[in-house]
């Protein structure tokens, strides 16, 4: 969070190692990202857009209240399966405004997110 209360997210799981002189990638894995925060469109190899970051923000806010991410599985594969299958999100007793914000950020259609 910066001095103006803007939230800045970074997932180093999506970073690649590059040679600064040539710009060539030195190392790349097939899976890039942290499964707990991947949006449905990223899992489905659809668009990569700002709305994907809003999804990750929704997962982060959910985790702040629940101490776990909303679609957590026993493995990355199961977590992504939970996201793809639209597993219902369980909410603890948290402020209704927080529940509403999380629901809006975790819309499966990226065009429906705020």
| Overall domain count for the chain | 1
Q: What was the pLDDT predicted at 77?
A: 94
| CB-count exposure of residue 109 (10 Å: 0-12, 13-18, 19+) | exposed
Residue with tokens 């959910």: 62
Tell me the average pLDDT across 14-20: 57
Contact, 38 vs 59, CB < 8 A?
no
Residue range of the domain that includes 45: 34-112
Q: Which of 72, 61, 65 is nearest to 106 (CA)?
A: 61
- Under the banding of pLDDT at 50, 70 and 90, the label for residue 49 is confident
Residue 30 pLDDT greater than 80, yes or no: no
Does 40 map to a domain? Answer: yes
Does 14 map to a domain? Answer: no
Q: Where are the alpha helices (DSSP H) in the chain?
A: 40-43, 50-66, 76-84, 96-105
Q: What was the pLDDT predicted at 28?
A: 44
- CATH number, domain with residue 86: 1.10.510.10
**DSSP 3-state of 81:** helix
Contact, 40 vs 84, CB < 8 A?
yes
Q: What was the pLDDT predicted at 82?
A: 96
Most confident stretch, 3-7, 22-26, 85-89? 85-89
CB 81: neighbour CB atoms within 10 A? 15
CB 89: neighbour CB atoms within 10 A? 15
pTM greater than 0.85 (yes/no): no
Of 23-27, 52-56, 67-71, least confident by mean pLDDT is 23-27
């Amino acid at each position: 969070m910066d001095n103006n209360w803007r939230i800045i997210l970074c997932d180093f799981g999506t970073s690649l190692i590059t040679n600064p002189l040539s710009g060539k990638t030195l190392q790349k894995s097939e899976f890039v990202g942290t499964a707990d925060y991947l949006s449905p469109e990223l899992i489905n190899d659809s668009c990569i857009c700002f709305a994907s970051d809003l999804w990750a923000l929704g997962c982060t806010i959910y985790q702040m209240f629940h101490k776990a991410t909303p679609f957590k599985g026993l493995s990355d594969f199961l977590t992504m399966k939970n996201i793809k299958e639209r597993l219902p999100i369980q909410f603890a007793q948290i402020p209704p405004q927080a529940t509403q914000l999380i629901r809006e950020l975790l819309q499966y259609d990226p065009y429906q997110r705020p």
